[in-house]
Amino acid sequence: MDVLWSPWRYSYIKSDKETEPGCIFCDLLENPASDEENFILHRAGYNFVILNIYPYISGHLMIVPFRHLDDLSAASKDETDELMDLTKQAQNVLTEAYEPHGINIGMNLGRAAGAGVANHYHMHLLPRWVGDVNFMTAIGETRTVPESLRTTYQKLRGKF
């Protein structure tokens, strides 16, 4: 039997997402650790690009506004224009780095829509390959991520 390890997901699985104080994104920005330690790939004027530390697949990244906003309509045009420009740039970066067959791009607004961090909206980008979701996800409720976050960070850093 093969054993697939993804120990970084355990803290997320066991966390009480309903009662955690603060905001993970705002806390990261206030953390004195370096951007590399926090897996922040790029800081722009209104948004930043960061790896998802609980990735569904290698290269899973997010674009997050600096302002703590729970609703896309509360953002300024400058903030959303930059968000989309960074989304387009991230698509190009992921395509160059991973050569995926496609990319999922989207955001979940509100807990009922599936938002893991419902109080601070963010855009997800996930490279995808034909056949990347197989029996492991459907039957085993397990995802395989073939590279570490550190490797992904090194691969994508400096590309924005």
- The pLDDT averaged over each successive group of 10 residues in the chain (160 residues) is 58 55 87 89 97 91 96 96 98 97 93 85 94 56 73 94
Q: Is 143 in contact with 42 (CB distance < 8 Å)?
A: no
Q: Which residue has the tokens 């979701």?
A: 133
How many Å apart are CA 92 and CA 89, to the nearest integer? 5
Q: Which pLDDT score, from 0 to 100, does residue 91 have? A: 98
Pick the CATH number of 21-156 from 3.30.428.10, 3.40.630.10, 2.60.40.10, 3.40.50.450: 3.30.428.10
Q: Which pLDDT score, from 0 to 100, does residue 95 have? A: 98
Q: Which pLDDT score, from 0 to 100, does residue 114 have? A: 81
Extract the tokens encoding 59. 């290269």
Q: Which pLDDT score, from 0 to 100, does residue 115 have? A: 79
Catalytic hit among 42, 68, 101, 122: 122
Residue ranges per structural domain of the chain: 21-156
Q: Which pLDDT score, from 0 to 100, does residue 110 have? A: 85
Decide if 122 is catalytic: yes
Identify which of 77, 74, 106, 79 has the alpha carbon closest to the alpha carbon of residue 90: 106
